Amino acid sequence: MHIQEAQARVHAWISQFEEGYWPPLANLARLVEEVGELARELNHRYGAKPKKPGEGDRELALEMADILFVLLALANEQGIDLDDALERTLEKYRVRDSDRWTRKSEEPS
């Protein structure tokens, strides 16, 4: 799925409700909450914080998808085309960071 399609699907979901899009700061709070849930799970798996007894694992993919949903909603509410924004960001990284790290050497064919 392309980002534009994902944005359209999020828009279709939100548009079916009278309340519509949440205000930008409410969506930012939602985004931070979702990032916190991902951080908590990663900290349980790879950090020093053990889970509480009886606390189950959360699926990392779904935590990331929750973040993406809120980010897509925020972009829609702000009229941002994330396909275009991502292309521009990738180009920025390509130019700015092309010599920042050691490239892997190509293996002979």
pLDDT, mean of each 10-residue run, the chain (109 residues): 96 97 97 97 90 86 98 98 96 90 80
Domain count along the chain: 1
pTM: 0.86
Residue 61's CATH number:
1.10.287.1080
What's the confidence (pLDDT) of residue 55?
Answer: 82
Q: Residue 72 falls within a domain, yes or no? A: yes
What's the confidence (pLDDT) of residue 109?
Answer: 65
Q: Exposure string (b/e) for 24-47, b if CB count within 10 Å is 16 or more?
A: eeebeebbeebbeebebbeebeee
Q: What is the DSSP letter of 18?
A: T
Q: Residue 103 falls within a domain, yes or no? A: no
Q: Residue 91 falls within a domain, yes or no? A: yes
What's the confidence (pLDDT) of residue 52?
Answer: 84
Q: Rounded to an integer, what distance in angstroms lies between the CA atom of residue 70 and that of residue 21?
A: 10
Q: Residue 23 falls within a domain, yes or no? A: yes
Q: Which domain holds residue 75?
A: 3-96
What's the confidence (pLDDT) of residue 50?
Answer: 84
**H-state helical runs in 16-107:** 24-46, 60-78, 82-96
The tally of CA atoms less than 13 A away on the side-chain side of residue 8 is: 6
